Copies of this chain bind each other. A is one copy, B any other.
């Protein structure tokens, strides 16, 4: 099967193999990874290796802490403002797609939101190049890659205020200056593991400034103090994430991931741009290197294309239910050869129906 799902998505074969074995016999202990206590040395070693691999891959110093939390990125939409934004303060948000809009909605429950830029006027098919950020904003929040719309920020906005990014769908796909951010969060289920856990990277100096009583389980500081073991963590999801990070490092780290990201995206978009029946949906310069959205000339051709994909073992090509159309996702574990198979099918399809 060629798996172009947007997440949960394709994982490296060796990660799957090791995870599968760990369920029967973890580290040759005669116990399953699903059965070991989360405060045993066995699991604490897994958690600490994962946390330190993230700091290493991101080249972050000890000003930062890494947490693995429950709840998905959607939980961060409220957990960020509840920890950082007082009721009478302002936070700036970029409105560039469905996830950013949801983050704005939740932030409004806790303080004032200023929209620093919006691409709503053209259905989020581009990334705005100009931002307005009041200098008393507590932070600027944006989504680095829009999984649903197929756009991606290819630059880091210079805001002059602490920067917060939802990197759920492009984390670890490229080199970037992670130390320009005060907080990064990402659901693990694209480039960093399987569904069920969220990575949070926090620059500690942004904490401790709100006056509200934060529920214990939502308080970042509590999780930092507990070394990411405040309550029973999603043990297996963290294990799979650790295996995935090990794989990234072994393959050569983020520079190699970035090279492969570019190869996959170039192959796909270069093919797409030669076709008559299928075409891209978003501004070329803002195209996502992870999630490519495109359209068939009409709805009949779209259905036909989806059918042909299915017949050829290509899955996950349908667009997000909120926007329709077609979409493929090309995360770290996606082999270039799978993209080639898809491109060949696209060319053939185009020829047949042009």
Contact = CB atoms under 8 A, between A and B. Distances in A.
Contacts of A23: 16, 19-20, 23
A271 to B, nearest CB: 24
Interface in A218-271: 218, 230-237, 240
A184 interface: no
A234 B77 contact: no
A17 B231 CA distance: 27
Interface string A67-82: 0001111110110001
Given A70-B71, A106-B215, A195-B233, A8 B37 contact: yes
A217 interface: yes
Contacts of A338: none
A194 B74 contact: no
Contacts of A204: none
B29 A235 contact: no
A217 B80 CA distance: 13
A129 interface: no
Interface in A114-168: none
Number of this chain's copies in the assembly equals: 2
Given A75-B217, A216-B106, A236-B195, A11 B37 contact: no
A34 B21 contact: no
Interface of A: 1, 3, 5-11, 16-17, 19-21, 23-24, 29-32, 34-40, 70-75, 77-78, 82, 102, 105-106, 109, 187, 189, 194-197, 213, 215-218, 230-237, 240, 313, 315-316, 321
A8 B38 contact: yes
B74 A217 contact: yes
B11 A34 contact: yes
A353 to B, nearest CB: 27
24 contacts: A6-B37, A8-B36, A8-B38, A16-B34, A19-B23, A20-B23, A34-B194, A37-B316, A38-B195, A39-B321, A70-B71, A70-B72, A70-B75, A74-B232, A78-B216, A78-B217, A105-B216, A106-B215, A187-B232, A189-B235, A196-B233, A196-B234, A196-B235, A196-B236
Q: Main SS of the interface on chain A?
A: loop
Contacts of A197: 196, 234
A318 to B, nearest CB: 9
Contacts of A30: 1, 313
A72 B32 CA distance: 20
A74 B237 contact: no
Given A35-B10, A230-B74, A29 B5 contact: no
Contacts of A218: 78
Contacts of A16: 23-24, 32, 34-35
A35 B20 CA distance: 13
